[in-house]
Amino acid sequence: MKAFVFPGQGAQFVGMGKDLYDTNPKAKELFDKANDILGYSITDIMFSGTDEELKQTKVTQPAVFLHSVISALCANEKAEFDMVGGHSLGEFSALVVAGALSYEDGLKLVYARAMAMQKACEKKPSTMAAIIALPDETVEKICAEVSTDDNIVVPANYNNPGQLVISGDIEAVNTACAKLTEAGAKRALVLKVGGAFHSPLMQPAKDELEQAINNTEFHTPSVPVYQNVDARAHTNPEEIKSNLIAQLTAPVRWTAEVNNMVAAGATDFTECGPGKALQGMIAKICKGNDAVTYHGLEI
């Protein structure tokens, strides 16, 4: 069985999507429609902007979404799939490709999400850090010991065995990194991100996005959609909406999500979108399982 998976923020690069725009009429039409919906030329930034322009959350998220969705929609007709999933932002891409959201509504929600998250980031300085080569349980325990109501640090992204990203207030993240290094982490690397994604500090963004999601029409997807909040497959539109809302302040359970896809029969993972980050994660999650293959999308 085939699974289409979609990357999140951080996969972007200047020039992404330009070849597709220049050579595929359907892609050009979809990119041009996105410029109209957003009210500015995001393609100019994607194709020839600067790294700094592209790194802004309000630009990054719709840019990665557009590259991912348009790539999948313009893939050859043999690119069929039996299930979908996405990492954080990528979950919106997955929902559009599976037919649970229209292209237009998906883009509007992603832009609303990006703007709400950027505002939350500006409201309170915060950060994230990647913890390498420690058991998840150790990271969870130390975060719980360090975190307080006023100085939060929590597990945010369960990317693959031995890589867990933490998120929260700058002081709490730095304290946790020091303790995790003492506990034997190979690396505790503070990331260059705008804020504490997938933590309680995103509550203002969650409140804002909830209204937008509840005002958007969702449909039953054509295939099961595996969601980050519980790592399980969903087809019920109301469940999908509820999980999307919860996702902003809850951890991304990517390791469990991939394992659940494999348990459901997935043997072929195709990453749709910029970069190869998910392929690397899947390789580590499925290490030793020769039945599982992973690759990028052929268009």
Indicate which residues carry an active-site annotation: 88, 198
CB 68 within 8 A of CB 274: yes
Our measurement of the distance from residue 162's CA atom to the centroid of its chain's CA atoms, rounded to an integer in Å, reads 19
CB 39 within 8 A of CB 56: no
For 134, residues 6+ apart whose C-beta sits below 8 A from its C-beta are 162, 164, 180, 183, 184, 185, 186
Longest distance between any two alpha carbons in the chain, whole Å: 55
Phi and psi angles of residue 139, each rounded to the nearest 5 degrees, phi first: -65, -45
Q: Is 287 helix (H, G, I), strand (E, B) or coil?
A: coil
Q: Compute the CA torsion angle 85, 87, 91, 93 (nearest 10 deg).
A: -90
Q: Which two tokens stand for residue 129?
A: 């850090």
